Amino acid sequence: MKIAFFDTKPYDRQGFSEMNKQYNNEIKFLEGKLNAETAFLTNGFDTVCAFVNDEIDSKTIDILSSNGVKLLAMRCAGYNNVDIQSLRGKMRAVRVPGYSPYAVAEHTAALLFSVNRKIHKAYNRTRENNFNINGLMGMDLHGKTAGIIGTGRIGICFVNICKGIGMKVMAYDPYPRENAGIEYVTIDELYERSDIISLHCPLTPKTRYILNSQSFDRMKDGVIIINTSRGQLIHTDSLIEYLKSGKVKGAGLDVYEEESEYFFEDYSDNIIKDDILARLLTFPNVIVTAHQAFFTKEAYDEIVRTTFESIKAFEENRPLEFEICFDYKSNDVVEGIQCNSK
């Protein structure tokens, strides 16, 4: 297969090139993001491999289709940046739904511990030979209540981490897991009772801005917010207001709702022109990481392997286990066998 990879970094080129020795695809790596302005570069390619911040709207899809692209392979779990409905009759699409839930859950825990115990501030102090601990007081997480929004594989992993350190756990999910040993509650009850709220749900029209001014109002004073899922789950302007008021004690964010221009890029010699992101970075009780929760060796190897296996299955006209498509009967996105049966 001839595959055009967009938005690639050195680790992409290394990882996919190394494993491609087993698959013998013809690969072209492109640094630019996929969008309507760069889609013309796909002429002559069978497959396009894209990432979380590429813009795959209807116009982009039309250009890809006219260039002969038959498969869109997302090397990530999320697909909120893809106009799934516009793919119909033009090309098929696959994603990587599960690579390492442990990677993301462990990074979530790292953000929680760091925000609570102010590890980032302590590190900066001691690097300057300042060993004063004033202002670094945290709280025992043992006995506190964690509210988990979304109990997929990642959410369950984080539930287990929280239980392992003696936290009480409750969860909200429209599709509760049976016999999971989790107390499921309404979203309002979760807001009201949680000391820590961690987001582990996909971005959909129903979950967009699930944390907003109304939900922050319902929360306990001093709540800690952690987000390793998608930036638009949180209304950032509202988060800033509640950080300023002290209602939100701290936040650990691996994602940001307008991250596409900045995350995965080096802006160390530039001024951040996004005023909201720049404001977030000024808060001493906020830690921002650049969408790296997935980034472990084990997780990345699985992303590469799953992507190539899906492309191989498409080439051999086999069912696509991780296909995503739009179902007009349910008016929603469906996956896997539901696509293959159509």
The one-digit pLDDT tens for each residue of the chain (342 residues) are: 999 999 999 999 999 999 999 999 999 999 999 999 999 999 999 999 999 999 999 999 999 999 999 999 999 988 989 999 999 999 999 999 888 999 999 999 999 999 999 999 999 999 999 999 999 999 999 999 999 999 999 999 999 999 999 999 999 999 999 888 899 999 999 999 999 999 999 998 899 999 999 999 999 999 999 999 999 999 999 999 999 999 999 999 999 999 988 999 999 999 999 999 999 999 999 999 999 999 999 999 999 999 999 999 999 999 999 999 988 888 888 888 788 654
**Options 75, 200, 235, 259, the catalytic residue:** 259
Q: Do both 225 and 150 map to the same domain? A: yes
Asked whether the beta carbons of 115 and 93 are under 8 A apart, the reply is no
State residue 339's pLDDT score.
Answer: 87
State residue 338's pLDDT score.
Answer: 80
Q: Do both 316 and 238 map to the same domain? A: no
Q: Do both 93 and 74 map to the same domain? A: yes
Choose the final residue of a domain: 271, 288, 305: 288
- Look up 128 and say whether it is catalytic: no
Q: Do both 109 and 198 map to the same domain? A: yes
Q: Do both 121 and 135 map to the same domain? A: yes
Q: Do both 173 and 313 map to the same domain? A: no
Q: How many domains does the chain have?
A: 2
State residue 109's pLDDT score.
Answer: 98
Query: What DSSP state is assigned to residue 300?
Result: H
Taking each helix axis from N to C terminus, what angle separates 297-315 and 101-117, rounded to the nearest 10 degrees? 150
Q: Do both 228 and 180 map to the same domain? A: yes
User: CA dist 60 to 35, 160, 176, 210, Å?
Assistant: 6, 41, 36, 29
State residue 189's pLDDT score.
Answer: 98
Instruction: Retrieve residue 222's tokens.
Output: 């001093």
Q: Do both 113 and 128 map to the same domain? A: yes
Asked whether the beta carbons of 216 and 238 are under 8 A apart, the reply is yes
As to burial, measured by CB atoms within 10 angstroms (0-12 exposed, 13-18 middle, 19+ buried), residue 239 is buried
**Options 95, 107, 200, 291, the catalytic residue:** 291
Q: Do both 115 and 72 map to the same domain? A: no
- Look up 291 and say whether it is catalytic: yes
State residue 329's pLDDT score.
Answer: 81
pTM tops 0.85, yes or no:
yes
Asked whether the beta carbons of 39 and 60 are under 8 A apart, the reply is yes
Number of H helices, E strands in the chain: 11, 14
Q: Do both 257 and 306 map to the same domain? A: no
3-state helix, strand, coil in the chain (%, to 5): 35, 20, 45
Q: Give the CATH number, domain containing residue 78.
A: 3.40.50.720
- Look up 193 and say whether it is catalytic: no
Domain hosting 77: range is: 2-99+297-340
**Options 230, 235, 257, 335, the catalytic residue:** 230
Taking each helix axis from N to C terminus, what angle separates 101-117 and 119-127, rounded to the nearest 10 degrees? 70
State residue 328's pLDDT score.
Answer: 83
C-alpha 101/C-alpha 299 separation (Å) is 8
State residue 341's pLDDT score.
Answer: 52
C-alpha 59/C-alpha 118 separation (Å) is 45
